[in-house]
Amino acid sequence: MSLDEEAQHLEQTMVGRARKITNVGELRQVLRQSLAAYEKAVDALPREDREEALSLYLDRIRKVTFGFHIAILRLSARRRFRSLRNPTRDLMREHVDQHDDEMHRVARIYRFL
């Protein structure tokens, strides 16, 4: 089983039963501590294993963060669009174009374009 497959399996079996943390402050603290512990564990690996572990981990974070970033952009665009009072076609087009530009900008940041 590859490192990525094993991590996904463990996530489904062990993490799936973990209690959900909703307090943002607590989550930030947990993530800081767990990232530091992960990096320390990875540092103990041979170079090739370390590169693989970091690459898989960071790419997974990139994909998850991108998904949430795009979801936030869509939510914001819908709210802005709904807030328009008697919008003209030009104003609607302007909002759609702004949203499209922002989506492309974000996709480029995450290297998906």
pLDDT tens, position by position, 76-89: 999 988 888 888 99
CA distance 47 to 70: 34
Domain spans of the chain, in order of start: 1-44, 58-113
CA distance 110 to 113: 8
pLDDT tens, position by position, 31-75: 999 999 999 999 999 999 999 999 999 999 999 999 999 999 999
Tell me the average pLDDT across 5-25: 87
Closest CA to 94 of 80, 104, 75: 80
- pTM of the predicted model over 0.85: no
At which residue do the structure tokens 């499209």 appear? 100
Question: Quick one: pLDDT at residue 34?
Answer: 93
Pull the structure tokens for residue 35.
């990232």
What's the alpha-carbon Rg for the chain, to the nearest Å?
20
